[in-house]
């Protein structure tokens, strides 16, 4: 928290990477690593989507923590006996402490865990999805989209940084602000960027180029949570997403694209934010709304052209154990 009451995210994550050449000591190997996520978390949701789109399910297993955690860690309360069935741990904290018994920072998802040793490899959410696209190519499914094409990387990086600073993180800065000045600044920054995004997307289907890229994944996970939690819970209330015609249609377009909406669990999302953030919602009451049936209504964005998967194909249906409740 800054002197002015502005929420400041700790971006010091474990920097190790899983790479094709294993230069950090963690070579890409089928079955060796487990991706730990929580359906509620937008940062983890990115990794879930990218893994689905690239078809890495057969070589990279996924553990799903429950939506509610305490100050110690995310826990595996959704699993039988409250333990991850592969790692055998009750809390993600255990994997961090195996790596460093004195680990001093927050226990965050997503995280890659080395199954043989039980140690966390990295929780650097921004790099993890890029590496899934660029380092795991030998195991991408046939027809996997190119989410981080080399010729567009500078533009993707630029847009993604704007989205992170002014949207992904700004909603939290609104919600956790400790002064009117800090809240006003974050609110203005957020909606100015949403206006900019609306203008950018008014005549193009996707953020960069004519196909889905990493930039779209990063924006989607915030927008899909906007009306359910950020509008009310975090006071991001100039408009709802449903009142921003371009962004509402854009987000519905992605939601209805295989690999996006089929990763979203609205009940878990709401339970996490409204129960865990006691400083924002002391009662712990989880709202029944909003109505989510609109997510499946026509968006008409295909009129703008674009090819969601480029020369590739959509992913198949989620594996049975990873399905979310249908709307």
User: What CATH number does the domain containing 47 carry?
Assistant: 3.40.30.10
Q: Is 248 annotated as a binding residue?
A: no
Residue 162 lies in a domain: yes
For residue 82, give its domain range: 33-139
Q: Assign 213 to helix, strand or coil.
A: coil
Q: Is 11 exposed, middle or buried (0-12, 13-18, 19+ CB in 10 A)?
A: exposed
Residue 13 lies in a domain: no
State the angle between helix axes of 214-223 and 245-255 in degrees (0 to 180), rounded to the nearest 10. 110
CATH number where 294 lies: 1.20.1050.10
Q: What is the pTM of this model?
A: 0.98
pLDDT above 70: residue 51 = yes
Supply 296's token pair.
Answer: 């499946």
**163 in the same domain as 244:** yes
Residue 90 lies in a domain: yes
**201 in the same domain as 108:** no
In tens, the pLDDT along 236-246 reads 999 999 999 99
**304 in the same domain as 175:** yes
How many distinct structural domains can be found in the chain?
A: 2
pLDDT above 90: residue 199 = yes
pLDDT above 70: residue 133 = yes
Q: Which residues are catalytic?
A: 41, 172
Residue 183 lies in a domain: yes
How confident is the model at residue 5, as a pLDDT? Answer: 82
**226 in the same domain as 192:** yes
pLDDT above 70: residue 1 = no
């Amino acid at each position: 928290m800054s002197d002015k009451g502005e929420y400041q995210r700790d971006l010091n994550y474990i920097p190790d990477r899983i790479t094709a050449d294993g230069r950090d000591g963690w070579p890409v190997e089928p079955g060796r690593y487990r991706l730990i996520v929580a359906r509620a978390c937008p940062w983890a949701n990115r990794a879930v989507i990218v893994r689905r789109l690239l078809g890495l399910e057969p070589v990279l297993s996924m553990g799903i923590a429950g939506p509610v955690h305490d100050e110690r860690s995310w826990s595996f309360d959704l699993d039988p006996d409250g333990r991850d069935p592969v790692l055998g741990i009750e809390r993600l904290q255990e994997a961090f402490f195996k790596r460093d018994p004195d680990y001093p920072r927050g226990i965050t998802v997503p995280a890659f865990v080395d199954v043989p040793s039980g140690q966390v490899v990295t929780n650097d959410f921004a790099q993890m999805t890029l590496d899934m696209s660029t380092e795991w190519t030998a195991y991408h499914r046939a027809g996997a989209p190119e989410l981080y094409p080399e010729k567009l990387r500078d533009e993707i990086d630029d847009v993604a940084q704007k989205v992170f600073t002014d949207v992904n993180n700004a909603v939290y800065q609104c919600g956790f602000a400790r002064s009117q000045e800090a809240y006003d600044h974050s609110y203005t920054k957020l909606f100015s960027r949403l206006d900019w995004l609306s203008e950018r997307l008014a005549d193009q289907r996707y953020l960069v180029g004519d196909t889905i890229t990493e930039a779209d994944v990063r924006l989607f996970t915030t927008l899909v949570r906007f009306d359910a939690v950020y509008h009310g819970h975090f006071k991001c209330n100039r408009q709802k997403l449903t009142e921003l015609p371009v962004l509402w249609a854009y987000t519905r377009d992605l939601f209805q694209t295989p690999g996006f909406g089929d990763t979203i669990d609205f009940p878990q999302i709401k339970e996490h934010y409204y129960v865990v953030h006691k400083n924002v919602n002391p009662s712990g009451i989880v709202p029944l709304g909003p109505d989510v049936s609109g997510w499946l209504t026509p968006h008409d964005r295909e009129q703008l052209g674009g090819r969601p998967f480029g020369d590739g194909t959509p992913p198949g249906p989620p594996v049975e154990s990873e399905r979310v409740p249908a709307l």
